[in-house]
Amino acid sequence: MTGVDMSGDEAPSGDPAFSLDESIGFLVYRAQLVMRKELMRQFAPHDVTAEQWPLLYRLWEEDGLTQRQLADRTFKDQPTTTRICQRLEEKGLVRRSPCPEDARASRVYLTARAAALVPELIPRAERTLAGAVAGVDAARVAVAKEVLAQVFINLGST
């Protein structure tokens, strides 16, 4: 379906065959929105947001990362990472301390309270992911992951 232009000109894209609803970018965006909403619902009892989840997970993998490393490993910009770390610190889930190698940087460490959330949050995330692909053949899920990985390779460095 194309857009309707009352002047009789073609759709703004110049391609009357283009459909936003069939665009891989729009489909990924919609899927991300509903995934985020479900993660928010799952994590709400533990006062953790979907935005905070990747940082906590990366710290469970390797505690004591710098904020820059966290930003790089979660594909977030530095100001967003700093804001999330501040909020996690206010919640008592992380503590930040100056980096001995670089006075301008901070290292981020999990608190015992955050470490105790691992057995709670990871199963919730796993259930959410399983629910997202319920009824989809595992081979098709693998292909979808490959396609999305290639999209990232193709566009991730721009």
Q: In this predicted structure, what is the pLDDT of residue 6?
A: 42
pLDDT 10s digits, 128-153? 999 999 999 999 999 999 999 999 99
Task: Label residue 49 left, alpha or beta by phi (over 0 means left) and psi (-120 to 50 means alpha).
Answer: beta
Rounded average pLDDT over 50-70? 96
Helix (H, G, I), strand (E, B) or coil at 138: helix
Least confident of 9-13, 31-35, 36-40, 100-104: 9-13
**Contact predicate 82/37, CB 8 Å:** no
Q: What is the pTM of this model?
A: 0.82
- DSSP states of 80-134 as a string? HHHHHHHHHHHTTSEEEEEETTEEEEEEEEE-HHHHTTHHHHHHHHHHHHHHHTT
